Amino acid sequence: MKKEVTKIGVLTSGGDSPGMNACIRAVVRSGLYYNLEVYGIMRGYSGMVENDIIKMESRSVANIIQRGGTILKTSRCKEFYTPEGRQQAYNNLKKLGINGLVIIGGDGSFRGAQIFSNEFDIPCIGLPGTIDKDIAGTDFTIGFDTAVNTAVEAIDKIRDTADAHDRLFIIEVMGRDAGYIALHSGIATGAENILIPEKKTDIDSIIKSLQEKEKRQKLVNLIVVAEGEKFGGVELEKMIKERMPLLETRVCILGHIQRGGSPTCFDRLIASRMGYSAVESLIEGRHNIFVGILNNKMHYIPLDEAVKKKQHISEEWLKIVKILAT
């Protein structure tokens, strides 16, 4: 029989993403609505190990829904990788009577939660807070929509200056292991080529495409590259210049600008919906699960499945890229 959850902790772990604050707000206010005590754990798992845990009230999350980043902060915690560190974290939770956790983060955060829950029988709920959209079991992750819109806005501006100078621009976007930001922003901005980690890059094909466009006097070209792609923006520029030395080429690395900023309406909505569902799951006894959204409905899978599986880019998307770039 599942133990009744009376006090819950919420933390944000791994890379920050826009909408995390909206999710924290939803967890806190939903918990209070159901007469639970809610605690904010600072700096991810580091706060659990170091006992940096604060009690939260409704006013604790006032005026944060529109803010990027996370009021609970986030960090990597080497101590939590060790049994001793996890034991210390458990001792700190036990002192406060916390018997349920909501973890907002990516697959690395969920791996830590799964190990911790198995060792100490603390029910954990995982919510997908990552701009990369690389977690299986959900159509959306908190922060992806904002990050893509940030990239699109930047790339649109770059196209203006590319057009003014008849240049090739290579824009590197975030996505260490997943190409979703590159794929979506590239399609939305009409990029001629989109390079992602999931698909092997054919340099010869890219050069041939650029040469054909040069013959047609199409001198303005955009290539969007995910940072985790084999070559990256700088190396790609070097290879193109070796083959096409007369082509004026520039590289723009968007970097962490994609992580920040006020979350879009969509990210605020899914974050609020997921946060509320996490609290309901703990109350109803759906423990050690991942909460996502599939086909606009809440979707629950075991936490270990969310850890093991990756979101895969469909062949249909890759076909669309190929057709629209010609």
Q: What are phi and psi of 197, to 5 degrees?
A: -65, -25
Report the 10 Å Cβ neighbour count for 190: 12
Cβ atoms of 283 and 163 closer than 8 Å:
no
292 has pLDDT over 90: yes
Residues designated as active site: 132
288 has pLDDT over 80: yes
| Partners of residue 252 on adjacent β-strands | 171
**Which domains does the chain show, CATH number per domain?**
7-143+263-308 (3.40.50.450), 145-259 (3.40.50.460)
In this prediction, residues 38-56 reach a mean pLDDT of: 97
0.85 exceeded by pTM: yes
In this prediction, residues 147-167 reach a mean pLDDT of: 91
Q: Does the CA dihedral 64-66-69-74 come out positive or negative?
A: positive
Residue 1: the pLDDT is: 44
Cβ atoms of 168 and 250 closer than 8 Å:
yes
Contacts of 208 (CB under 8 A, 6+ apart): none
3 has pLDDT over 80: no
Return the percentage of the chain with pLDDT > 70, whole number: 96
Contacts of 8 (CB under 8 A, 6+ apart): 27, 31, 36, 37, 38, 39, 98, 99, 100, 101, 102, 279, 282
Q: For helices 232-243 and 203-215, give the axis angle rounded to 10 degrees.
A: 60
| Range with lowest mean pLDDT among 70-74, 214-218, 320-324 | 214-218
Q: pLDDT band at residue 199, thresholds of 50, 70 and 90?
A: confident
Cβ atoms of 224 and 186 closer than 8 Å:
yes
Q: pLDDT band at residue 147, thresholds of 50, 70 and 90?
A: very high
Condensed to tens digits (0 to 9), the pLDDT of residues 177-189 reads: 889 999 999 999 9
Nearest Cα to Cα of residue 154 among 265, 264, 255:
255
Q: How far apart are CA 72 and CA 60, in angstroms?
A: 11
